Structure 1
Amino acid sequence: MAGQPLPPINGYFFEDLEIGQRFASRRVTVTEDAIIRFALEWDPHAFHIDREEANESMFGGLIGSGLQTLLLTSRMLYDSGLFQGTALAGLGVGELRFLKPLLPGDTIGAVTEIVDKSVSRNPTRGKVRIRIQTLNQRGDLILSHTREMLLARRS
């Protein structure tokens, strides 16, 4: 990824975006308690909820669910304001890769890159494909995926 990501402004319209633009989210620190609470509700594997069993797992300790990482990333993207008020619909998610585990105490952030865009048949909207990469405080890439979205157009 070349260059520094831009801070997002609220509500980019389709015309505001250019292929190659990158945007950084704010960062969030994930506690052990948050990992366990999420996993108890949604992904109760032992390596997400039981410290002793997690220590014996291939991870050597408690880790966050990949689904938790994905949802935290979605929240960081939303909170960035990048598409607030201009996102019309999500069209799909692809190329989802869990690359490294989310660890208790990790501080993560997301970088969103515009990878493709096309005008819709409807003149009030356009399609955008974005790549989202989630990194921890060490700069390790822990999650990567793409999304296709329908965005409002100004004209």
Structure 2
Amino acid sequence: MAKLYFEDFKPGHTAEYGPRLVTREEIIAFSVQYDPQPMHLDEAAAQKSLLGGLGASGWHGCGIMMRMICDGFLLDSTSMGAGGVEEVQWQRPIRPGDRLTLRVTILEARASKSRPDMGIVRFRYEMFNAHGEGVMTMVTPAMFGRRDPGAQE
């Protein structure tokens, strides 16, 4: 069983995952539960909003992105979690029928000074609709187990 360790994440490497279809039903179901603003629930209200039509909650977009990250590589890694998110930007609405792709870029990787069993990888995630338009970005560091905790830098 393949596992990605800290040492497998090289700065500059990119990968793409998807597409993943977003449906009207899931946009509304998420919003009813977690972000019940009219622009995420009702087409008529959404048309009059800044979104100009029904659009997914930004938090729904975060959830979709996380699922794509997990399915793409994270569940096959030595992930130890993350300490937070540096940046999230919602660039344009995610619409019903959008087919989203995710581009992952490794920005940097460094061994932990205090925990020799782990390293920290900083990622930029960019999500695009089928027209190639950016809908969301996220920058976050994540912790991964090391293949050889005693190895020198």
Q: Is TM-score (shorter-chain normalized) higher than 0.5?
A: yes
Q: Which residue of 2 aligns with 1:23?
A: 15
Q: 2:142 aligns with which of 135, 138, 149?
A: 149
Q: Which residue of 1 aligns with 2:151?
A: none
Helix, strand or coil for the counterpart of 1:34? helix
Q: Which residue of 2 aligns with 1:6?
A: none
80-89 vs 111-120, which moves further: 80-89
What stretches of structure 1 of length at least 5 have no aligned partner?
A: 1-9
Helix, strand or coil for the counterpart of 1:146? strand
Helix, strand or coil for the counterpart of 1:26? strand
Q: Which residue of 2 aligns with 1:87?
A: 79
Q: Which residue of 2 aligns with 1:43?
A: 35
Q: Distance in 2 between matches of 1:61 and 1:41?
A: 20
Query: Which structure 2 residues correspond to residues 91-130 of structure 1 after superposition, within 5 A?
Result: 91-121=83-113, 122-130=115-123
Helix, strand or coil for the counterpart of 1:117? strand
TM-score by length of 1: 0.89
Asked if the contact 1:73/1:109 (under 8 Å) is kept, the reply is: no
Which digits, 9 at most, give the CA deviation of each residue in 1:37-78, with x for residues without a partner? 110000010010011111222222111111101110000000
Helix, strand or coil for the counterpart of 2:76? coil
Report the alpha carbon displacement of residue 95 of structure 1 after superposing the two structures with TM: 1.7
Report the alpha carbon displacement of residue 81 of structure 1 after superposing the two structures with TM: 2.3
Q: Distance in 1 between matches of 2:99 and 2:3?
A: 25
Asked if the contact 2:77/2:144 (under 8 Å) is kept, the reply is: no
Report the alpha carbon displacement of residue 109 of structure 1 after superposing the two structures with TM: 1.4
What stretches of structure 2 of length at least 5 have no aligned partner?
A: 149-153
TM-score by length of 2: 0.90
Give identity over the alignment, percent: 29
Which 4+ stretches in 1 moved above 4 angstroms?
none
Helix, strand or coil for the counterpart of 1:37? helix
CA RMSD of aligned residues (A): 1.5
